A = this chain, B = another copy of it.
Amino acid sequence: MVLETQMWREFLIPYQQAVQEMQIKFESIVNEYHKLSQYSPIEFVTVRVKKISSILEKAKKKGIALSDIENEIEDIAGVRIICQFVEDIDKVVSLIKSRRDIMIKYEKDYVTNTKSSGYRSYHMIIYYDVHTALGEKRIQAEIQIRTLAMNFWATIEHSLKYKYKHNIPMEIRNRLVAAAEAAHNLDNEMSKIRSEVLDAQDSFQYKSGI
């Protein structure tokens, strides 16, 4: 059991390194836009590696053999890119497609095709090569691109899915749909102001942390 834990810890190492590298790479781009006094299509970047328990749970639920986990579970490594405006999402997608160190496997556009729950985000499943203490390895990762308002909504929905074990009661679900509409409306109002903001945006001077 201790051996297994150690094995799983090693298993996650390339994923952890991959998300760290991608975070620093995207954050560098944000800083560069700021240095150039230009508007950045990326507002901020967060990353996570799925916990072992969640990986095993997902494998069990989907009937994936342990030996297929690496190939079949595509979101062990997760990168989330948050934008101010809906229009920025396309720009970030292009930016990612132009990189030689990130290879696209496939994409899902839940911005155009909103889920019935109200969920909106642009998803890309990608390949990324890392050099770890254990050698070189190609891993898969999921990049989610969304606006601040979409992210706010999705964070809340995630908590509720977790609480109700994916069976959110109808009443709460209706409230969530109403909140999704409010978030969508906020995005639309912000888009209307967008062209005004674009050439105005000075380097935002608050430094985020955590």
Which A residues form the contact surface with B (CB < 8 A)?
A: 6, 9-10, 13, 16-17, 20-21, 23-25, 27-33, 35-36, 38, 40, 44-48, 51, 78, 80, 84, 98-101, 129, 131-134, 136, 148-149, 152, 155-156, 159-160, 162-164, 172, 175-176, 178-179, 182-183, 185-186, 188-190, 192-193, 196-197, 199-202, 204-210
Smallest CB-CB separation from A187: which chain B residue? B182
CB–CB A27/B182 < 8 A: no
CB–CB A129/B100 < 8 A: yes
CB–CB A202/B159 < 8 A: yes
Number of copies: 4
CB–CB A27/B210 < 8 A: yes
Give chain B residues whose Cβ lies under 8 Å from the Cβ of A209. Answer: 23, 27, 44-47, 208
CB–CB A36/B48 < 8 A: no
**Given A33-B133, A132-B28, A207-B46 in contact, is the A149-B186 Cβ separation under 8 Å?**
yes
